[in-house]
């Protein structure tokens, strides 16, 4: 199988899932997700009776160990049960065959790992807040074994030798080290358009950063490792050597970055659009394929775009030739990764100023994002069967009875790596869901096990701070 780690200090969790699921579908193998509780050098440790919100007076030794990034289990350490459980539910609904909570042998229990291992078989060790959420998640997953199929109408196709990495310290350098070109940077900007703020602190301007905790010289972590998007999560990343039968299972293919466009790749794309697929290319990709009709009707070389356009649906997006600057400094992009502050206690006024200045988008970058968002808006209006309103991260699965909607509220349950969870009731999200071309007969919510009323063809669900709600929409025959 193929696998990813989420949680930890890893940004772009949405994007990681897009690549993992795409790899699984292209290769015909399952994928695996391992949410990590490790955060800024600490992992959770619970005492009997502890809740996420329990405030512990940590000793100077414990604090110094945490701030020194030693991977120590301390009270109020690591990620919250709220965040970790959102990752489990998300991976499950996204189609993962295996969801493995990292370190569960210790952080599922209100006791340290050594005590768990030494305890006699008959002893019952109390569950921690993380363990209780895991127990609830497992019971729900067993009760609802059929979650349908993740609905992903959009394939994002990269060249098989593109070498894109979503890790912020290397982006956008191909294979983590080669000199990047504009198409490499456009991949980063595309995912920023799709998942705004997906690189967490890299794309977060100074005005959006949380207030500094003066006592521990840290920023409160907003747990924005996963983000909401108005364009759904219905995307799979594929490579250009994808088999045609896999490619044809997607109504839309969007090409990202630089492509070699080998003859067999072009032939595969022509077959794709001939059978009703819709292909989206950047203006640079179209120019490479040959924009003009040939003088000689029998000509084949350098006219691939003409052949594609003549065969089926082809859209262009991104920067037009006259919008590309004559001179671009790629070192500016790589400086972004160098300016990442992995541990908030290392942040200074100067590093904050430098990062804020470096991440200011230039006019041509803003134009690329603006045009990409217009494309995504048009495609979603045409190909997404479900309309979701509200500031929420969501998944969509097709089931035998209708649609299954996973709703994830990433706001309102905030903690740092050394503080308890702080709940902000004002971050409750009200979400409305409707189906565009079908009628909802009834609806029910799985986490609270209750029916949801259908009013005027839509359902409304409240998602508390940091929580998950799963809504099944049963379609009228």
**CATH number, domain at 468?**
2.60.40.1180
* Integer Cα distance of 368 and 194 in angstroms: 12
Full-model pTM:
0.91
Whether 266 is covered by a domain: the verdict is: yes
pLDDT (0 to 100) of residue 213: 40
- The contacts found for 116-122 with CB under 8 angstroms, 24 or more apart, are none
Tracing tokens 């649906």 back to the chain, one arrives at: 313
Whether 52 is covered by a domain: the verdict is: no
* Integer Cα distance of 438 and 476 in angstroms: 7
Residue 352 has pLDDT above 80, yes or no: no
In contact, 30 and 98? CB cutoff 8 Å: yes
* DSSP-derived pairing of the beta strands 450-451 and 440-445: antiparallel
pLDDT band at 211 (very low <50, low <70, confident <90, very high): very low
Residue 124 has pLDDT above 70, yes or no: yes
pLDDT band at 342 (very low <50, low <70, confident <90, very high): low
Whether 274 is covered by a domain: the verdict is: yes
pLDDT (0 to 100) of residue 146: 94
pLDDT (0 to 100) of residue 347: 65
pLDDT band at 207 (very low <50, low <70, confident <90, very high): very low
* Integer Cα distance of 41 and 72 in angstroms: 7
pLDDT (0 to 100) of residue 30: 97
Give the residue with greater pLDDT, 37 vs 72: 37
Residue 369 has pLDDT above 60, yes or no: yes
Residue 55 has pLDDT above 50, yes or no: yes
What pLDDT digit, counting tens, does each position of 284-308 carry? 999 999 865 455 454 455 578 888 9
pLDDT (0 to 100) of residue 105: 85
Whether 127 is covered by a domain: the verdict is: no
Mean per-residue pLDDT, 258-268: 94
C-alpha closest to that of 82 among 395, 376, 422, 355 = 422
What pLDDT digit, counting tens, does each position of 126-180 carry? 999 999 999 999 999 999 999 999 999 999 999 999 999 877 667 788 998 888 9
Residue 471 and residue 390 in one domain? yes
Both tokens assigned to 212: 């500094």
Percent of the chain with pLDDT over 70: 85
* φ, ψ of residue 134 in degrees (nearest 5): -65, -40
Whether 246 is covered by a domain: the verdict is: yes
Residue 195 has pLDDT above 50, yes or no: yes
Task: Kindly report which listed range (48-57, 108-117, 224-233, 280-289) carries the lowest average pLDDT score.
Answer: 108-117
Residues in CB range of 256: below 8 A, 6 or more apart: 156, 157, 158, 164, 186, 187, 190
What range defines the domain where residue 412 resides? 386-475
pLDDT (0 to 100) of residue 57: 86
Mean per-residue pLDDT, 73-82: 90
In contact, 473 and 405? CB cutoff 8 Å: yes
CATH number at residue 301: 3.40.50
**Residue that terminates a domain, selected from 271, 300, 323:** 323
Give the residue with greater pLDDT, 53 vs 59: 53
> What mean pLDDT, rounded, does the chain reach?
86
Task: Kindly report which listed range (213-227, 238-252, 397-411) carries the lowest average pLDDT score.
Answer: 213-227
Tracing tokens 């671009």 back to the chain, one arrives at: 328
What pLDDT digit, counting tens, does each position of 422-439 carry? 999 999 999 999 999 899
pLDDT band at 69 (very low <50, low <70, confident <90, very high): low
Percent of the chain with pLDDT over 90: 62
Both tokens assigned to 442: 């009834």
Whether 311 is covered by a domain: the verdict is: yes
**Residue that terminates a domain, selected from 277, 299, 323:** 323
Whether 265 is covered by a domain: the verdict is: yes
**Residue that terminates a domain, selected from 278, 306, 323:** 323
Burial tier of 437 (Cβ tally within 10 Å: 0-12, 13-18, 19+):
exposed
pLDDT band at 106 (very low <50, low <70, confident <90, very high): confident
* Integer Cα distance of 306 and 311 in angstroms: 9
Domain count, the chain: 2
pLDDT (0 to 100) of residue 131: 96
Residue 375 has pLDDT above 90, yes or no: yes
Whether 377 is covered by a domain: the verdict is: no
Q: Between the CA of residue 278 and those of 26, 33, 102, 233, what are the distances in Å? A: 19, 31, 40, 19
pLDDT (0 to 100) of residue 40: 76
Residue 394 and residue 469 in one domain? yes
């Amino acid at each position: 199988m193929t696998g990813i780690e989420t949680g930890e200090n890893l940004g772009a969790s949405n994007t990681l899932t897009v690549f993992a699921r795409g790899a699984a579908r292209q290769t015909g193998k399952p994928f695996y997700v391992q949410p990590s509780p490790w955060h800024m050098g600490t992992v959770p440790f619970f005492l009997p009776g502890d809740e996420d919100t329990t405030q512990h007076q940590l000793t100077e030794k414990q604090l110094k160990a945490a701030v020194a990034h030693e991977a120590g289990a301390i009270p109020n350490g690591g990620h919250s049960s709220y965040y970790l459980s959102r990752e489990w539910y998300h991976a499950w609904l996204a189609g993962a065959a295996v969801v493995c909570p990292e370190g569960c042998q210790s952080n599922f229990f209100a006791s340290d790992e050594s005590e768990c291992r030494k305890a006699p078989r008959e002893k019952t060790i109390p569950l921690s807040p993380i363990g209780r959420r895991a127990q609830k998640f497992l019971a729900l997953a067993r009760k609802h074994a059929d979650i349908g199929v993740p609905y992903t109408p959009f394939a994002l196709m990269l060249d098989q030798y593109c070498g894109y990495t979503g890790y912020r310290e290397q982006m956008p350098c191909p294979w983590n080290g080669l000199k990047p070109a504009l198409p490499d940077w456009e991949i980063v900007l595309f995912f920023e358009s799709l998942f705004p703020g997906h690189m967490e602190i890299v794309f977060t301007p100074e005005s959006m950063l949380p207030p500094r905790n003066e006592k521990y010289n840290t920023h409160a972590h907003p747990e924005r490792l996963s983000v909401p998007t108005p364009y759904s999560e219905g995307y799979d990343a594929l490579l250009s050597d994808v088999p045609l039968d896999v490619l044809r299972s997607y109504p839309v293919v969007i090409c990202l970055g630089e492509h070699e466009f080998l003859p067999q790749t072009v032939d595969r794309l022509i077959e794709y659009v001939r059978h009703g697929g819709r292909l989206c290319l950047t203006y640079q990709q179209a120019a490479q394929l040959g924009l003009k009709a040939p003088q000689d009707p029998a000509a084949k070389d350098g006219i691939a775009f003409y052949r594609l356009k003549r065969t089926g649906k082809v859209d262009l997006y991104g920067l037009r030739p006259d919008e590309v600057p004559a001179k671009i400094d790629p070192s500016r992009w790589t400086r972004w990764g160098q300016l990442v502050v992995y541990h908030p206690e290392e942040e200074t006024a100067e590093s904050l100023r430098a990062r804020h200045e470096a991440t200011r988008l230039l006019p041509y970058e803003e134009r690329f994002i603006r045009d990409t968002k217009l494309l995504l808006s048009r495609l979603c209006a045409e190909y997404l069967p479900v309309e979701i309103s509200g500031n929420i991260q969501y998944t969509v699965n097709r089931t035998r009875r209708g649609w299954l909607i996973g709703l994830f509220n990433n706001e309102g349950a905030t903690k740092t790596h050394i503080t308890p969870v702080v709940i902000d009731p004002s971050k409750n999200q009200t979400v409305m869901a409707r189906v565009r071309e079908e009628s909802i007969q009834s609806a029910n919510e799985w986490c609270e096990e209750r029916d949801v009323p259908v009013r005027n063809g839509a359902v409304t669900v409240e998602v508390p701070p940091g929580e998950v709600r799963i809504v099944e929409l049963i379609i009228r025959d």
